[in-house]
Chain A
Amino acid sequence: MSSKALLMALGVAAVACASDALDASSSVDVPSGKDFAAVSLVLESNCGTLDCHGHPARNFRVYGKQGLRLFGDDTVGGADTRDDEVRATYQSVISIDPEALSRVRSQGGAGVEGWIVVAKARALQYHEGGVRLLAGSPADTCLASWASGTLDSSSCFTDDFGPIPRAGESW
């Protein structure tokens, strides 16, 4: 096969793959942003520090008080997380593999580990940040339950990742 023919074949293959992934006729049904503020709290503390997904260079951005701010006149550690920042984080989350997220929701949460956000957080896929949410922990349950469409908001306020020294604890 000549190099020209090879290039053409590769080009056709690439277009075929792209058209499969970008099927305009498909629709997605992602979880609502109505109760997302509780989930946003978990993402802010576990994923959204400036050295991780609170960095403006990341495609999956998490906004919040202790990380990246949405508005130029806000400072890190300044005003509390704003509603607009929660919405921006929501938009960021649902833009990550929305087809898989939609599938998880339609299956009532089954296969949630197949959605890349959960897979990365549990380090089931390579994740530069390693394990950020231990499977079955309250924080993990918060995210996974939201993805399934039945948010367990009581799990969203507990952060039990590792032996984190708490205020008042000596170390």
Chain B
Amino acid sequence: MARTVDGRPKARGEAEFVADAVEQPRLFGALLTTRTAHCRVTVDLDALRALPGVVVALDHDSVPATLYSTNPHGGSADTSVFTDIGRYPGDIVGALAARDRRSLQHALDQSAELITEQPLPAVLSLEDAFTANAEANPQYPGNVVSDLRIGADEAAAREALAACAYQHTSTTWFEPSPHGCLERLAAGAERGQDGWRVWSPSQCPALVRDLLADMFAADVRLEPVFVGGGFGGKEELTLEPAAMLLSAAAGGTRVLLESSRRQMTAAHRARHGGYIRVSTGYDRDGIFGARLVDVVFEAGPYDGHSSTVAANAANAAARLYPRGTVTARSRAMATNRLPGGAFRGYGSIQATFAVETHVDEIAARLGLDRFEIRRRNLARAGDVDPATGLPMHDIDAIGCLDQLARTARTVIATRASGEPSEGLDGWGISMLVSTSAAAGADKPDHAEVACRLEPGSGTVIVETSVAEAGQGIYPLLNRIAANALGLDRDRVLVEHDVRAGSPNDPGMFGSRGANVTGSAVLRASMALRREVLARGARLLAVAPDVVELDAEWTVIRDGQHEVKVSELDPIRVCAEYATTDPGLAFGAQLAQVRCDPRTGAVRVQRVVAVHDAGVVLDEDGARAQVEGAVVQGIGAALSERATFRPDGSIAESGFVNHLVPTAVGLPAVSVSFLPAAASTGSTTGAKGIGEAAIMGIAAAIGNAVGSALGVRARELPITGERVLRLLENTTRDASRSDDERVAAS
């Protein structure tokens, strides 16, 4: 059993939120935000400061003029901690701090009157971004935040497409969807003699520490707090600098700054909305000769993660079927609405939905089996990765598909259990491809860890700055170290260390933990073992290769003499692992649904997930990742969304109307992993699973709805109302689609 470090405290309600960790704050802070999509803002600071209990009120004039990127991995510097131009409804124009929560609430209630917003021309849709004269942010002329291409030259791809016997084009649309983390964003800050102390729930504590130290030109001690619920929602630097500014304005006193649930839902960051167009040229056997992918995501007014999310979507869409002439373009467009950000899957949920529903459509046109068309086109080892231009290696997409096909046979044969309800059953499949490192040729992914032996207790401590926020990385690292050291797991402790100068690991993102951080831990463990033997040999005055350690790590012997491990001086070794290999990981997923053709209601009855996770280091942990991802994937498929009002604001305000799946009525999930090839010895051989597992769920559900009802859902989420509308349209267009079918055959 995996020993999670957070399970017990969370189940007992003892886990600490940022607000618990920042003990006895002297000041309670909140953000001041806009309501208008695009506006010039003036804040009546004097009036705010005069309100009872208010100690600090800050706006744009109180912050350094330099812009920064909220993306801790680096990005366009386009954001001010407090802006004087509000660029989306909910943009941060200042902050308040009061002596107690009640005064703070009272001041916030008054604040709307004290923030004057002079409207500017606004970009209120993707269409506006392309056509309107307005600019969401002058930093992005033509509202283009990024425009990137991978793979073949576009003209060549178009030519190849035209040369194919058949062509198919489909466009899929996505509504944005807010984060639904358990813990709202919050931060604490205080300045002491020796610099800053900052409490942060960031997924990337080491990066945040360095960025803040840079921004404030001071030493920063970071106190990480992880209740959990990151999923990319805590991969953006927003509250920490605001908390520090509030504290600085009050002489360095301890401040707790919290966001509200409404801010988290309607104004923080969303899974990207937008559209993806896919065109495929194919022959009568369903072999793809050319593919063009066009990803257009709505960034909001700032880049943040948007350009990389859009690029990642293009990568995923291109990689699944890299054969033939493949090209993919990705654009992030600026608007004056809710910004898109990192969200589990990083654009791949959308990309997979676009590609995999498209592939099903081609299969239907040709009357080809849905497994077979994929088998004929999937990536194989040796194919060139359109994203990197390098050959793909150590992949087994077809293995995943075949294993799913075997499981599917029994699943499809048995009608799903559960409450009897009216409706039609259907099943659908989706392939997916994920990465196991946030790496590219020009930007290696890199992790450092330290391993320390405390000879007295015989305990080995793994020091890492990676965050444990419920994803189970500490039990995993514990297992890797214990195996490599040959020690009982109880003798290995994983400690979080994010002090300046400690081993640097950028954090929790990109499904990199088991591969990148894990491999660094493996190397450090092996190095520690070598060092223990070397020290023993030195004390015994023999060569290191003649000594051995007993199984319990109590003594080092050379056959005649021995030294006790407990007599060694403490040992600490550091190791690192860096890779430019994205570590492609394929998977195949199946969803079985029951659809009500008269109400459009879709219920997921069962999900089957097959993943190539490489060497599965912690089967329970990996399984838990998949099960959680399936649930979150169902939310993305069926219910989660941010609904724009005409003025660009979001109608959803919290968990009452932002519909994340709950424990009620979840489907059965069966998970299996491909038998792994051996690892190389110095690396774990593990692949990423955390994001992989969410990528195909919406596509499989979409395809299942297609098979049950004969209509194609082309927009996420697939709400009952949308399905019903599709059914009504098909009845209306029945004759035309018949003609199309004739033409295609």
The answer to whether A binds B is no
Q: Which A residues lie at the B interface, using CB under 8 A?
A: none
Q: Which B residues lie at the A interface, using CB under 8 A?
A: none
